[in-house]
Chain A
Amino acid sequence: MHNLALTTGRFGKAFWTELRQLAVHWLYLMLHVLWTALLVWMFVGRDDRSAQALLETTLGRIAIGLISLVGLFLAGISASRSRQTKFQELEDALPTGFEVLTGRWLAGLLTLALFLVEPVAVAARQGPLASLLDELPLFLGEAALTIAFTSAAGWWLAGWLKLGRWAYPLLAAGWLAFLIGPAMLTDTYPPASLLNFMRQGVSFYSELWGRLVYGDQLLWFNLFYGGMLLLAIALLALGIQLRRFHRPFWWTLGILAAALVLASGGAGRYVAGVQVALNQVPESPFSPDSPAFTVTAYDLTLDMSNPQSPRFIAQLTLQNTAPAPLSELAFRLNLALAVSESGLPVEREGALLRVLLAEPLDSGASLVLALRYEGTLRLESVSDGVVEANDFIDPGGVRLTPQANWYPIPARQPSFPGLHDSAHIRLVVTNGGSLHFAANLPAAGENVFEAGAAEWVFLIGSPRLVVEQAENVNLITSQADQARACELASIFVDSLRTITPFFPEAEIHGLILMVLGEEGGLPEDTPPVTGYPLVVIPRYALANISANPDSQQTFVLRALAADLWRLSGGVLDPKFAGPVTSLDNAFNAVVGFLHLYVKENGDPERMLDQVQDPAQTQGEVDENQQALIVIYRQGGEGAVAAVLRQMYLRPDELRVLPYDSLAQWIREVGSER
């Protein structure tokens, strides 16, 4: 007991003495001032993420990275102080043990941890409080782990290599290597992301699902660095014991063994996790030779009573579109989903599901097929060495994109990024627990979604999901983004209301606006469902869109115009699928026209001035836009709508039309009226 008190006394004295030497120094105080200034400059008013998202991504990553660098330097300073001041020989003759180094190291750690106050304060200023409180333990814990590891490794290096002042640039170079090295290595060896001990680079943190998208990878990552921290501590202790007592102590060997077990276990599981995700090839059993049929109606139910193995009930109304009778039907269905019950015999060939018909289905005839299937669904991919789940069903959240093939789609139809034939779709989620659900389909009740015609389904569920219905806008976002998303919704609604007269065929009932964290797995341009333009935008876009009114307006109008164009019967070719055609240019001209229309409150003279203003056009007048404005001046909104109608009706003609003939084409179809 007496020995323990003395050891504690030595530890405490070493701790406070070191703390005083590090913290009561003008340089340390100046670093805090600079640190505060840097964070305020970088984040206050510039990054609109919630407190939790800030600490999980940009702010938190920068904080951990830079504090690690300071940690290396501080460790070097502390570890070499006794040698620099010639105190070491005297110190070594004192009856002390590892407790002195522990005290000094922990003092350094506290000094570094105080640099976390500023980022937390910036995050707190951002709010909301609940978001901050949710994140704080995790952020502080992980930051402490990283900083502790860096600092302990720095102490060990400084002691082992007997670093002098010359070594500080080398420490900085090492830090830099670990900052950018893993990202470079992941191109050839994705699990190298494990070396990214400062947690830099990409972050797939989502306001809706938090870290659910990472799965267990972060646990293994932290376990590995927990082991590495213990390893550094054990090596420090071992160094002191061998030097000063000429033998290792049993507890050090115990820590060493535990460190090796933790580090190797964590690393093994992490690497295995990356390998599993790498081997998880997206299923796309596109089978163009399969019999031709179409599903005209889907009635889907997702039962979450057992979230670990959710059950689906699917009732499909399908029609033989082939000229000959069909004896079997081929669907795509995720391999993880096993059919448990079917009205007809089924066979699986990987992700291909073959339904064997009892009797042939005549050409043009319809059939109702009922299926029950269940299984654990989690589709992961690897980006920059980091495992990310795009699709999952979990007690903590649901994200199902077309990429997951989570409901049967005729195998003849191309898989993602294409869409299936337009069908009536009704989707019901039962036993969802604390999760709130939303989809790209209009809500028809609580956890019921239905659209008269839709080509895809995107279902999301999260305890943090907010669905707000106002002014015909179905706003779907996270709690943290709700306020800003509402601002954005009003911009979209105003724009939609203004431009709708140009698209009378679209028959708009409202707008579905999804302000989410990421868009992985969604089809290009997120096609709309009957009567509802659908806009899915990354939450990161909020700040960017708000920053520049012109680009904001163009972004909004382009998104809305694309859906209105489709709902009016027009087609748009996929971006980057081939050379730019006059069909693409026609759509771009319409977007440009609408932009000027909104900007100049529909005044055709001012719109013409704008399009002809050399300052605006860099001397090159957009003839296509000008043609549309002239038609608008002559015939109003109806005249332009008529031109657009011709664009919907004659896409093939536009695709082959020379670029420089488009303006003439517009003028001609505009005068045909």
Chain B
Amino acid sequence: MEISISRLTKDFGKVRALEDVSLYITGGMFGLLGPNGAGKTTLMRILTTLLVPTSGQARVGGFDVMKDPGAVRQRLGYLPQDFGFYHSLTAFETLDYIATMKNITQRKRKEQVSVAIEAVHLLEEAHRKVGTFSGGMRQRLGIAQALLGNPELIVVDEPTAGLDPEERIRFRNLLARLAQARTVLLSTHIIADVEASCSSVAVLDHGQLAFLGSPAELAAKASGLVWEVEVGADEWQGVDGRYPVLSNRATKGGMQARLLSANEPLGLAAPFGRARPVEPTLEDGYVAVMKAQSRSAERRHA
């Protein structure tokens, strides 16, 4: 299912949450990255017909989210970031209720509910009241309901938060498998999830589109900018303040760190030792894009 977003802007009073965002998603699994407040949830809520844009246009599967929201909802599976269910219903009843609301006929409903419950490994808890569920179990139930009705578009906002690593991987794989026949829009902070499953990715920052491309292209944004250095423990403070540190770990008698720098960091400034360039990861690319955005914003403000 294609998603076409054209010059989308959304204001909340004086605050501009989205600014002139244009995107075209052809299908597969699409990752949406960005820091808190970047506009990811706003964009998703517009695409799921929950919010009305201030200007611009968004079409899902050819249907305008403003003019034909019913048609969009009929093709949608949505997992919001912060959600809950009626406490007194069991997991099975909850899914049965949502399946009915998704217009799944009675004949197919039981089967689809069972499949969804099984997919998220909640079979044993199917007849337990949702009010007694832990956060992880509730999250899995949320995922299950998004799968009901085999939607052409699945929009998931921070879906793996609260899941244990095994569940996270299983769910990621499930989404990836689903994305073979449909569009999955995944908003997350966990770059590894995007790296592992998304074919395309967009980065939003301060309501603006900072990057659009494949994960490899995003990683490439940090190409030649990532360095690995080893310094003694007493000199580490000097390094930490000067360069964006992508990662670091303590070594025997010092620190090993990955730094982001346009030039060879530390350069001739021995006694820190030599920095060596390394292959950037998706996370490095993301940080590079964000840094570039930040510099650009600073220049604009200056």
Residues facing A in B46-99 (CB within 8 A) are: 48-50, 52, 66-67, 69-70, 73-74, 76, 78-80, 82-89, 93, 96-98
Would B97 and A85 count as touching, CB distance under 8 A?
Answer: no
Residues of B within 8 A of A9 (CB): 100, 103, 105-106
Would A89 and B86 count as touching, CB distance under 8 A?
Answer: no
Q: How far is the CB of A79 from chain B (nearest CB, A)?
A: 14
Task: Decide if A497 is an interface residue (CB 8 Å cutoff).
Answer: no
Task: Decide if B102 is an interface residue (CB 8 Å cutoff).
Answer: yes
Residues facing A in B110-150 (CB within 8 A) are: 142, 145
Residues of B within 8 A of A656 (CB): none
Would B103 and A17 count as touching, CB distance under 8 A?
Answer: no
| Beta-carbon nearest neighbor of A97 in chain B | B70
Would A89 and B80 count as touching, CB distance under 8 A?
Answer: yes
Q: How far is the CB of B248 from chain A (nearest CB, A)?
A: 38
| Beta-carbon nearest neighbor of B142 in chain A | A90
Most buried by B among A6, A9, A87: A87
Give per-residue flags for A408-443: 1 if the beta carbon is below 8 A from chain B beta carbons, else 0.
Answer: 000000000000000000000000000000000000
Chain A interface extent, by class: 20 to 34
Would B101 and A94 count as touching, CB distance under 8 A?
Answer: yes
A21 and B88 in contact, given A13-B97, A93-B73 (Cβ under 8 angstroms): yes
Residues of B within 8 A of A244 (CB): 49, 69
Chain B interface extent, by class: 35 or more
Task: Decide if A575 is an interface residue (CB 8 Å cutoff).
Answer: no
Q: How far is the CB of B143 from chain A (nearest CB, A)?
A: 12
Residues of B within 8 A of A85 (CB): 84-87
Task: Decide if A498 is an interface residue (CB 8 Å cutoff).
Answer: no
Residues of A within 8 A of B85 (CB): 85, 87, 90
Residues facing B in A24-44 (CB within 8 A) are: 24-25
| Beta-carbon nearest neighbor of A244 in chain B | B69
Q: How far is the CB of A108 from chain B (nearest CB, A)?
A: 14
In angstroms, Cα B67 to Cα A497, docked, is: 89
Task: Decide if A673 is an interface residue (CB 8 Å cutoff).
Answer: no
In angstroms, Cα B219 to Cα A97, docked, is: 44
Q: How far is the CB of B255 from chain A (nearest CB, A)?
A: 43
Q: How far is the CB of B234 from chain A (nearest CB, A)?
A: 50
A95 and B74 in contact, given A89-B83, A246-B52 (Cβ under 8 angstroms): yes
Residues facing A in B155-187 (CB within 8 A) are: none
Residues of B within 8 A of A25 (CB): 88
Q: How far is the CB of B130 from chain A (nearest CB, A)?
A: 9
Residues facing B in A68-94 (CB within 8 A) are: 81, 85-87, 89-94
Q: How far is the CB of B101 from chain A (nearest CB, A)?
A: 4
A93 and B78 in contact, given A85-B84, A245-B70 (Cβ under 8 angstroms): yes
Would A10 and B101 count as touching, CB distance under 8 A?
Answer: yes
In angstroms, Cα B146 to Cα A89, docked, is: 13
Which of A86, A87, A95 meets B102, CB within 8 Å?
Answer: A95
Would A17 and B69 count as touching, CB distance under 8 A?
Answer: no
Task: Decide if A586 is an interface residue (CB 8 Å cutoff).
Answer: no
Residues facing B in A90-125 (CB within 8 A) are: 90-97, 100
Most buried by B among A81, A89, A93: A93
In angstroms, Cα B30 to Cα A570, docked, is: 106
Which of A13, A24, A93 meets B48, CB within 8 Å?
Answer: A93
Would B102 and A94 count as touching, CB distance under 8 A?
Answer: yes
Residues of B within 8 A of A87 (CB): 83-86
Would B83 and A21 count as touching, CB distance under 8 A?
Answer: no
Would A246 and B66 count as touching, CB distance under 8 A?
Answer: yes
Residues of B within 8 A of A90 (CB): 78-80, 83, 85, 98, 142, 145
| Beta-carbon nearest neighbor of B106 in chain A | A9
| Beta-carbon nearest neighbor of B130 in chain A | A85
A6 and B70 in contact, given A90-B78, A93-B48 (Cβ under 8 angstroms): no
In angstroms, Cα B93 to Cα A24, docked, is: 15
Which of B78, B86, B97, B106 meets A81, CB within 8 Å?
Answer: B86
Residues facing B in A239-275 (CB within 8 A) are: 244-246
Q: How far is the CB of B123 from chain A (nearest CB, A)?
A: 22
Most buried by A among B73, B93, B100: B100
Q: How far is the CB of B73 from chain A (nearest CB, A)?
A: 4
Would B101 and A100 count as touching, CB distance under 8 A?
Answer: yes
Would B84 and A86 count as touching, CB distance under 8 A?
Answer: yes
Would B84 and A94 count as touching, CB distance under 8 A?
Answer: no
Residues of A within 8 A of B89 (CB): 17, 21
Residues facing A in B17-53 (CB within 8 A) are: 45, 48-50, 52
Would B76 and A93 count as touching, CB distance under 8 A?
Answer: yes
Which of B52, B78, B86, B100 meets A10, CB within 8 Å?
Answer: B100
Q: How far is the CB of B41 from chain A (nearest CB, A)?
A: 10
In angstroms, Cα B70 to Cα A245, docked, is: 7
| Beta-carbon nearest neighbor of A247 in chain B | B67
Most buried by A among B73, B76, B79, B106: B73
Most buried by B among A6, A89, A91, A92: A89
Residues of B within 8 A of A81 (CB): 86
Residues of A within 8 A of B45 (CB): 89
| Beta-carbon nearest neighbor of B85 in chain A | A87
Q: How far is the CB of B229 from chain A (nearest CB, A)?
A: 46
Would A93 and B49 count as touching, CB distance under 8 A?
Answer: yes
Residues of B within 8 A of A86 (CB): 82-84
Residues of B within 8 A of A95 (CB): 70, 73-74, 76, 101-103
In angstroms, Cα B206 to Cα A139, docked, is: 62
Q: How far is the CB of B104 from chain A (nearest CB, A)?
A: 9
Q: How far is the CB of B156 from chain A (nearest CB, A)?
A: 12
In angstroms, Cα B70 to Cα A478, docked, is: 61
In angstroms, Cα B93 to Cα A276, docked, is: 58
Would B101 and A96 count as touching, CB distance under 8 A?
Answer: yes
Sample (19) of A-B pairs whose CB atoms are under 8 Å apart: A9-B100, A9-B106, A10-B100, A20-B88, A21-B86, A21-B89, A86-B83, A90-B98, A92-B50, A93-B49, A93-B76, A93-B80, A94-B102, A95-B70, A95-B74, A95-B103, A96-B101, A244-B69, A245-B69
Report which B residues bind A (CB closer than 8 A): 45, 48-50, 52, 66-67, 69-70, 73-74, 76, 78-80, 82-89, 93, 96-98, 100-103, 105-106, 142, 145
Report which A residues bind B (CB closer than 8 A): 6, 9-10, 13-14, 17, 20-21, 24-25, 81, 85-87, 89-97, 100, 244-246
- Across the A-B interface, the 7 shortest Cβ-Cβ residue pairs: A86-B84, A95-B73, A13-B100, A93-B78, A95-B74, A94-B101, A85-B84
